[in-house]
Each structure stands twice: as C-alpha cells, then as structure tokens.
Amino acid sequence: RDAQTAVEKALQDGQATALVKAASLLTLGQCRDLLNNRQGAIDAYQAALALTPRTPSHDKAKLFLNQPYDGKVPPG
C-alpha cells in the first residue's frame, strides 16, 4: 500500500512529465492488480494509454490491460 500511496502522490505533481505520469500509472495499475483490485488496475492502465506522447510504459500498460499483472513479469 505504501507504493500505491507514493505513486498516487507523484501523479498529483503538476510538473510531472508524461513519461513520469505514464510510468506512475503503470505502477499504480500493477499495485492494484496485486491487491486484487482489477477494475482499479484497468482504470490506471487505460489512463496511461491515454497520455501523449507515447512512452515505453504504453506497451506494458497494454499488456497488463489484457492480462493482469501477477508479479512474475518484470515490472515497469
């Protein structure tokens, strides 16, 4: 839960770049998947995919949108 709280705080930073926001949303989705909050995870992955410009986190967000993060695949 500490990681989830830290990520949510980072997302509130008005100066965060799209790269930081996408990585934060990806991490938030992964945290939520591990906490069995699938709908919350989907929301985070979709929010990451909606950001522009496209970042490396987009591919992972797309993957975990279709297949829940289980902690076995390397994060981020």
3-state SS, one letter per residue, for 30-41: HHHHHCCCHHHH
Residue 25 confidence (pLDDT) = 93
**Which two three-digit tokens encode residue 37?**
């909050």
Residue 22 confidence (pLDDT) = 93
What is the rounded CA–CA span in Å between residue 51 and residue 37?
Answer: 22
Q: What is the pTM of this model?
A: 0.85
Low-confidence ranges of the chain (pLDDT < 50): none
CA 38 to chain CA mean position, Å:
12
Residue 75 confidence (pLDDT) = 61
Residue 62 confidence (pLDDT) = 96
* Alpha helix segments (H runs only) across 1-76: 2-11, 18-34, 38-50, 57-66
Residue 5 confidence (pLDDT) = 80
